[in-house]
Amino acid sequence: MSDSHALFIGGEWVPGEHPAQANINPSDLGDTIGLYDQASAGQVVRAIEAAKVGQKAWAETGLEARYNALMAIGDELISRKDELGELLSREEGKPLAEGKGEVYRSGQFFHYYAAEVLRQIDDRVASVRPGVEIETRREPLGVVGVISPWNFPMATAVWKIAPALAFGNAVVFKPANLVPASAWALAEIISRQELPAGTFNLVTGNGREAGEALITSPHVQAITFTGSLDVGRRVAAATAANLVKCQLEMGSKNALIVLDDADLDLAVDAAFAGAYSGSGQKCTASSRLIVTDAVHDEFVERLKAKLAAAKVGPALADGTVIGPIASESQLAANLRWVDVALGEGATLAFGGEDVDVGVDGHYMQPVLFTDTTNDMAINQDEVFGPVACVIRVPDYETALTTLNDTNYGLTAGLITRSLSRASDFKARAETGCVMVNLATAGTDYHVPFGGRKDSSFGPREQGRYAREFYTVVKTCYIKA
């Protein structure tokens, strides 16, 4: 077991003021990855104060120096993808290939936003008054609080941290307490760059104290959060009280529609990737599978066969397709949802049995329900596990109405050979992301990401759209 891993505040590694917490491998509960220090509320306050100082120096740092720093971080993440991907999979539970891919993607985010450093070009605007010149400038907000989730312990953090730094802000980063190892590894890489002290700070700790101190501070200019709807509402209320800008990515209840004309091989692959990859622990997971009558029975049988062939096992084991659930509490919640669905009258088409993988961990079989209706709780509330429900419908119009009948609106998918249906779907799906003949899980890093309804609040993440959140516009009038 590793020695305790410290906090990073004001350019220095400092011990936490609360006892360190053990990071346990969900694939093997006998494997402790390390001990990670826990920040007190006072230490979060000190990190914010350090960030205020560091931000001013960072904003005045030349563009090439900022570009070089972000490029170097991206280079190291990519070069160490095997090592850090194994660490990520070990602590979160996703299969090793997915862990490596997440680290590689994180490096790409830093490369993308390094380039954005050099693309910050202001606009000149003609005035309605003679002799007056106008320009609009984008300037840093100041201190940005970053709160990231456990399901993508590096990528989600990075797609917030990289643009915050690229646009001249300082960062106070509080990762999910379940997965501190990836966050600490990222912080260690950033700590070796030539950033002014305080530009980047890591405060590992629980949400009740460390997170609360961050979201209630009047001395941060923005909070970007990814997590549950309930906590997101708490963040919105806390930041509103201090008029702090906030960006929230929260829950989802995504659906994949499979029409009569669908390529069923493609449909089954998309359903499996969307609903079960990462053990279904994705905000983009397609937990509702809306299938038309003509292909319903064959689709279900093919998906059951694919689930039966998918190996459940430790994240680092060869051949593992579905890894463990990330925590004991999440596993218990998933199993409760299985009972809820059965109580609502759903038919258990696959899963529901114990899984013995030869090691003590948080394992469950992937679950598929049929004979479900959209008004069931299992189809309205986010489950966040390898659980999907088939909803049988007669036609496309009913399928689309069913898809939109939810309080969430993050992603939506359609499998069809019809160009007209695809075009109509893009226009009428009430979601922030639409996929046609693709799984709902899987997005590119250079385009905006976000949802509608209860899924998202505030400006979009990723791509050039990120500048809407991480900068403030200043309009300058000059008369010579």
Known catalytic residues? 249, 283
Phi-psi region at 137: left, alpha or beta (left = phi > 0; alpha = psi -120 to 50): beta
**Residue 17, Cβ neighbours under 10 Å: how many?**
14
Q: Residue 133 to residues 9, 108, 129: CA-CA distances in angstroms? A: 43, 39, 9
DSSP letter assigned to residue 137: E
Closest CA to 179 of 73, 81, 82, 84: 84
What are the DSSP calls for 400-416, one per residue? HHHHH-SSEESEEEEE-
| Structure-token pair, residue 365 | 């079989």
What are the DSSP calls for 155-190, one per residue? HHHHHHHHHHHHTT-EEEEE--TT-HHHHHHHHHHH
How deeply is 15 buried, as exposed, middle or buried, from its count of CB atoms within 10 A (0-12, 13-18, 19+)?
A: middle
- Which run of H or E residues covers position 203? none
Distance CA 213, CA 88 (A): 27
The answer to whether 224 and 144 have CB atoms below 8 angstroms apart is: yes
The answer to whether 165 and 115 have CB atoms below 8 angstroms apart is: no
